[in-house]
Amino acid sequence: MAKEIIPWEDRTKKTGKLTIMIDDSIGQHGWAKAFKDGIAKFNELSTQTWKLGVTFETTDNAMRANVVAQAKVGDFNFGYKDPWWTMEEKPYKFDGDSVHGLCLPLHGPVRNRGKHVDEIRLVKAFIFVPAKPHTQGSNSRMVGEPVKLVIVVHELIHACGPDNDHHTDNDVFAWPSSCASMVIR
């Protein structure tokens, strides 16, 4: 059963943008162009085609960023703590050679001042991309920029709220089956 999409907190939604901090690991593992192009493509699609009402803007401030992106080599432990929010550290299985990223949302109770109740809202998201994404099979090789672009846009969409249960078989979330033949050549 698919989970409900959890919206961002109201003060973030009112800005119409999500700030994203690109960790140094992104550049170190060859993802800088994919993120630059992916943010531009997401913003173009969001404003002109999808009319989502949200765009991404980069920032250098990890604490204030709504989204933080990192490249990972393999399995890792992850947790988050700041003065307001905590995500308990736990281990994550992650294949640093695959073509699948991961978006971990941080949800928490946020006061709805109009209704005087706490509601669960998305307050931060963490994107992880594989450090060395490879095609599968006997001719395995590093993927090119078009595949990385698909992975980045896919994870940016997740950072807007849809969890991994919101994949379908006919869109960017159909990766890799529908997109592979178009971008892996």
The residue extents of the domains of the chain are: 10-183
The predicted pLDDT at position 2 comes to: 46
Q: What is the pTM of this model?
A: 0.86
137 or 147, which is more confident: 147
Least confident of 60-64, 127-131, 141-145, 177-181: 177-181
CATH number for the region 10-183 comes to 3.40.390
Question: In the predicted model, what is the mean pLDDT of the chain?
Answer: 87
**Confidence label for 84 from pLDDT (cuts 50, 70 and 90):** confident
Counting every residue written for the chain, the total comes to 185
For the chain, report the end-to-end CA distance as a whole number of angstroms.
35
- Which DSSP string corresponds to 133-148? -B--STT--B--HHHH
